[in-house]
Amino acid sequence: MLSSFRRVEAILALVLPLAIGAACSLVIDSGARQCVEDADCAVHAGAVCVAAVCVERDVPEASAPEVIPEPIDPTWGCLGRVPPPPVEERSAPVQYPLRFLNAISEQPQTGLPVVACEADDIECTKPIAGPQMTTDPEGYVTPVVWSGFTGYFQITPTEAVPVLPSLVRAFPIPDKAVTLPPWPWSLFTRDELSFIAASFGKTINYEEGHVFWFSTDCSGKPAEGTDGSVETLTPDSFKFYTDASGFPSLTQHVTSTNAVGGFLNLPVGPVVITVRREGALVSKRTVFVRAGWLTYAVLGPN
């Protein structure tokens, strides 16, 4: 009888690891009966009784806690992580609606010639092919460009509409999958621009150029509290901001809820504008400045 019992124990010693699988492991030699119930294995911490043998139950490793990413601030969370615009084939034509109003009266500017220009064609010597377009009675015009266009639109005055000749940088960058709403642009006459300069005790030098810029946040909305600077100035250059009502302000030193700033009397040529908010870089872009022209640019995070 004893020899038969030992043969059974020997067999258990072979098959026990298979029977208990990966959940348990032996804690002492299985050649002797060790237990009848779990309480008999109390001397072995964490052991349980399996087929008369005390075994240590494996404790699964604790899984790492789930990491929930912090929500991204939709207003400024994109800073430093804005992807470059996709480069697409020019074969994808896109209609780019624009609207032009007088800056003071807000009346539609009718009959103004508008052409689209390449981003690197500073003088627009080779306008993008297409019929010459003029603004309609409501001030609208819809040039055809291509998806991903980063150039600008050139507006020249007429005898009937003597606004300053103007350059409007494309914003937002068109996408063939998105229908753009017409972005309204306010055009100034020479007298109106001179009035702005006079309110700051300055005069306009029409041998130099001028830039109005509009600051936006990550969601494309007007950005309050941003400050713009340029790398190159002339002795008579100066900067200003508008207040919430849109009028140039002597006391505004960053953008208001209106989000508009301006640089008057800038040197002719490419000018780099840097926009910051509380010291953090928001935007850094190059705009074209022509003598006697007014350049408009929307400066969002990039």
Q: How many domains does the chain have?
A: 2
Mean of the per-residue pLDDT values of the chain: 82
Determine, yes or no, domain membership for 63: no
**Which of 34, 57, 80 is the last residue in one of the domains?**
57
Same domain for 241 and 132: yes
C-beta separation of 112 from 135 below 8 A = yes
pLDDT of 27 above 60 = no
Same domain for 158 and 36: no
Same domain for 107 and 52: no
Same domain for 217 and 106: yes
Same domain for 193 and 146: yes
Same domain for 52 and 142: no
pLDDT at 88: 57
pLDDT of 64 above 80 = no
pLDDT of 62 above 50 = yes
Determine, yes or no, domain membership for 172: yes
pLDDT digits (tens, 9 = 90+) for 99-133: 999 998 999 999 999 999 988 888 888 888 666 78
Q: What is the CATH classification number for the domain harbouring 250?
A: 2.60.40.10
Same domain for 257 and 211: yes
pLDDT of 266 above 90 = yes
pLDDT of 241 above 80 = yes
pLDDT of 204 above 90 = yes
Confidence of residue 56 (pLDDT cuts 50, 70, 90): confident
Same domain for 98 and 52: no
Same domain for 181 and 123: yes
Determine, yes or no, domain membership for 112: yes
Determine, yes or no, domain membership for 170: yes
Same domain for 279 and 199: yes
Same domain for 227 and 166: yes
Same domain for 137 and 26: no
pLDDT of 73 above 50 = yes
Q: Please give the residue range of the domain that contains residue 20.
A: 2-57
Determine, yes or no, domain membership for 187: yes
Determine, yes or no, domain membership for 183: yes
pTM of this structure: 0.73
pLDDT at 296: 94
Determine, yes or no, domain membership for 72: no
Determine, yes or no, domain membership for 115: yes
